[in-house]
Structure 1
Amino acid sequence: MFDLTAEQEMVLSSLEDIARKEFADRAFDWHGEPPWENIELLAKRGFLGINIAEEYGGGGMGEFEAMLSIEAVGTVCPDTAEFLYNQQMVAPRAIEMFGSEEAKDRYIPPVVDGEKAIAIAISEPESGSDVGSMRTTVSDDLVLNGEKIWVSNIKHSDAAVVWVKYPEGLGSLIIEFDWDGVEVQEHYTNMHGGTQSQIRFNDVEIPEENVLTRGKDAFVDQLKALNWERLGCATLANSFSRNAMEKALDYSQQREQFGQPIGDFQGIEWKLADMLTELEAGRMLTYRAALNAHKQGRIPDRLETSMAKLYSTERAEHIVSEALQIHGANGYQQGHPLEYLYRMTRGRRLAAGTDEIQKNQIAAVLKKSGMPDLV
């Protein structure tokens, strides 16, 4: 696909080997629960938090290597890959990028060791993609009030990064779920069995060291950093596509009808050809954006990120659906890997910015800057 360094090749091949040998047998048994035994194994072998600085126990690599790890694992075990995505490219990474030394020392090492997880809380009952209308507020003396919804993995997390509104503007901070005034009000179960929760904050006192971003410039930097999260989401979706496609290809070569493998019928051949083309197009968009940023030491480009996230997640739903179609009634049964993978993949079009938000971003750049350069 791309020219990788020897270190990147090692990460990719090692994780592929671990996933196929250690994770395959139970890959679709987790039903939305964190696969802790897989996480502990990855931590023990040094592959959890590979983009976290070595001083906090991580591998000292970059976001691109983290994306390689997500794709390698997700091709086999989607739940393990989703955990890697959440704990390498979302909340803990925000703490490392924007947190105080006290916060980094307290919250990051347990994640890298596979002992704890950190959630992220952005959406509110009246505010989703429109973060400017958030009603969760923090006073000048750092007292937090408000509520958040659709927060994933609270049951398995000890803390959360929370987006808030300070008197001077938007920002973020870290809370712990056992603090006074933090109340988990209700749990919801999403399509693939994962838990999402609603939290209420009532006069929660925030230590100064738990403030992440505060003020316009700092929060703008956090918004830009979301591009890495979105590329991680695209990578996760691409790994689901490959997972589904491998299953469809194997099944089409083994299942016989009318005296031949169904994969020899043109109708199935064309499905496989379209699926592979869509998968590789999504991967090219995703890794182009990541490598351009990686090589230049910058945040990924807004246009490239939104196109990659939009296309990869949309096409993932289509690819998994076509893989299920190739399996026929077998794939439609509860308990079949493709039935589970379809439900899991659908959420990627909502997480890290919906399809519609990505299209708004793409159109905004296009209208402002015109067509992108040819090279």
Structure 2
Amino acid sequence: MEALTDEQRMVLKTVRELAEQNFAEKACTWNDQAPWENIQLLAEHGFLGLNFDEKYGGGGMTEIEAVLMIEIVSRVCPDTGLFLNSQQMLAPRAVNEFGTESAKKAYLPPIMNGEDAMALAISEPDAGSDVSAMNTTAVEDGDGFRVTGEKTWVSDVPHSSSAVVWVRYPNEGLGSLIVDFDAEGVDIANHFTNMAGHKQTQFYMEDVYVPKENVLTHGRSAFKEQLVSLNWERLGNAAMITGRMAFALDMAIEYATEREQFGQPIGDFQGIEWKLADLVKQYKAAQGLTHQAARNAVSADRTLNRLDASVATLYASEVAERVVSECLQIHGANAYQRGHPLEFLYRDVRGWRIGAGTDEIQKNQIADAIKENGLGHIV
């Protein structure tokens, strides 16, 4: 990535120091709880929504700063990085990009203040990777729409008051709007706990009224813009995953330096040296792909292309599983105990080869992009 400005360096240095001083002690212990105390501390310092408009409480910066912040925080506290990613790159970003002025004023300030969150509801029982099979409908009714359908595998619901819901408008294709969880007709049915201990939710909507000011995308061309915007979710995931790799590597390097066997630190054995070298190589490659994709997008009017986004997230999620596994291996039995940070991280990183598009979907995106435009150019 090109050299950061003095302002960028100052902001990110302050974020790193704040995280190291306040988030490290409880890292990997949050389970299904949102790390509100960390989020509110970031809000007090003006670090939530770095890439959002200042008039809604954001930082007025770009996705470069947001991506770097997600990575930095994830390196200290993976769960806080997860929350930051969801609230900077997913549903609230859709509101910031596509929402009406009324919706932005209503929903964004509480999130920027660390008082609320917003979920993103896309998947349905019969529509996971294939969003074209989506059955949730939004039918026009006076000055709004009536939404009926079911969503599942939705993250962030327990600590959110609303969701950006993807829907089908009859005869007009797919789109999205904001649904309040306390609206009449919304039924939070089940919470599922995944391998990492995080809750995902199934909920139903029956004739739920949504005012027109809560419509985000409506019509084929508008929804295509939101599909492009979804690339930022993928890149945010890559940044979050890269931070998790650094978390694991920091632990492995420290342990290899301190743990002695056969009269010397285990990090002095060539087998461990070469292992660490290979892991750092993979981490740096993932980091470079993520940073380069963010830089390319911001220099292109903040439009992130799917080739860069899918390559970065696919590579990061694939190598993270290996990196965390080998860092656990360096610790041996010490890390293979419930409650150890690497035991948690080992379970956590597996999910990122599924979330925001499976490995297979990312490969499809890459193949489609190169068939359409080739490899692209350096300049």
TM > 0.5 between the two? yes
Distance 1:346 1:12 in 2: 28
Cα offset, 1:295, TM superposition:
1.9
Residue 178 of structure 1 pairs with residue 182 of structure 2: yes
Greater RCO (Cα-Cα under 8 Å, separation 6 or more): 2
Matched residue, 2:204: 200
The aligned residue for residue 165 of structure 1 is 168
Name the SS for the 2:109 alignment partner: helix
SS at match of 2:150: strand
Distance 2:375 2:9 in 1: 34
Superposed displacement of residue 47, structure 1 = 0.7
**Alignment equivalent of 1:326, drawn from 320, 323, 330:** 330
Q: Is the Cα contact below 8 Å between 1:321 and 1:342 reproduced in 2? A: yes
1:108 paired with 2:112, answer: no
The structure-2 alpha-carbon separation of the partners of 1:369 and 1:296, relative to structure 1 and needing over 3 Å to count, comes to: closer
- Tell me what 2:63 maps to: 63
Question: In the aligned structure 2, how far is the partner of 1:313 from the partner of 1:32?
Answer: 22
2:87 counterpart of 1:84: no
User: What residue identity is the alignment partner of 2:31?
Assistant: H
- Figure out how many residues of one structure are paired with residues of the other and give that number: 375
CA distance in 1, matches of 2:78, 2:311: 23
> Structure 2 residue aligned with 1:289, among 280, 287, 293?
293
Amino acid at match of 2:155: S
Instruction: Find the aligned partners of 1:5 and 1:374 in 2 and give their Cα distance.
Output: 23
Whole-angstrom CA distance in 1 between matches of 2:158 and 2:300:
39
AA matched with 2:326 = E
Q: Partner letter of residue 146 of structure 1?
A: G
Give yes or no for contact 1:231–1:308 (8 Å, CA) kept in 2: yes
- Cα 1:35–1:298 change in 2 (3 A) is closer
Structure 2 equivalent of residue 238 of structure 1: 242
Moved more, 206-215 or 26-35: 26-35
Query: Equivalents in 2 of 1:148, 1:177: separation in Å?
Result: 12
Say what the alpha-carbon RMSD is for the aligned residues. Answer: 1.1
- What does 1:296-315 correspond to in 2, within 5 Å? 296-315=300-319
Matched position secondary structure for 1:297: coil
CA deviation vs aligned residue, 1:97-125 (integer Å, no higher than 9, x gap): 10111111110000000000100100000
Seen in structure 2, the aligned counterparts of structure 1 residues 36 and 374 have a Cα distance that, compared at 3 Å, is: closer
The amino acid of 1:252's aligned partner reads A
Aligned to 2:357: 353
Secondary structure of 1:38's counterpart equals helix
Q: 1:374 to 1:7 in 2, by over 3 A?
A: closer
Where do 1:1-375 residues align within 5 Å? 2-141=2-141, 142-167=145-170, 168-373=172-377
Q: Unaligned regions of 5+ residues in structure 1, if any?
A: none
What letter is aligned with 2:209? E
CA distance in 1, matches of 2:360, 2:109: 36
One-letter amino acid matched to 1:149:
T
* Cα shift readout 1:315-351 (whole Å, capped 9, x = no counterpart): 1111111110100011110000000111111121111
Gaps of 5+ in 2: none
Q: Secondary structure at the match of 1:201?
A: strand
Counterpart CA distance in 2 for 1:186 and 1:305 is 32
Residue deviations 1:7-36 (CA, integer Å, cap 9, x gap): 211122111101111111111221131111
Asked whether the 8 Å contact 1:145–1:204 carries over to 2, the reply is yes
> Contact 1:146/1:201 (CA < 8 Å) preserved in 2?
yes
SS of match in other structure, 1:140: strand
**Deviates further, 53-62 or 1-10:** 1-10
Residues 162 and 172 of structure 1 are in contact (CA less than 8 Å); yes or no, is this contact kept in structure 2? yes
CA-to-aligned-CA distance 1:212-267 (integer Å, 9 cap, x gap): 10100100000000111111000000000000000000000100111111111111
Letter in 2 for 1:334: R
Within 2, Cα distance between the matches of 1:74 and 1:29?
A: 14
Return the alpha-carbon distance in structure 2 between the equivalents of residues 193 and 25 of structure 1.
Answer: 19
Offset of 1:3 from its aligned partner? 1.0
Task: Check the 8 A contact 1:153/1:196 in 2, yes or no.
Answer: yes
* Distance (Å, rounded) in 1 between the aligned partners of 2:149 and 2:191: 17
Q: Check the 8 A contact 1:11/1:69 in 2, yes or no.
A: no
Identical aligned pairs, as a percentage?
56
* Inter-partner Cα distance in structure 1 for 2:20 and 2:163: 32
Letter in 1 for 2:148: N
TM-superposed deviation, 1:369: 2.9
Q: C-alpha displacement at 1:374, in angstroms?
A: 5.4
Distance 2:241 2:219 in 1: 33
Quick check: 1:32–1:79 contact (8 Å CA) kept in 2? Answer: no
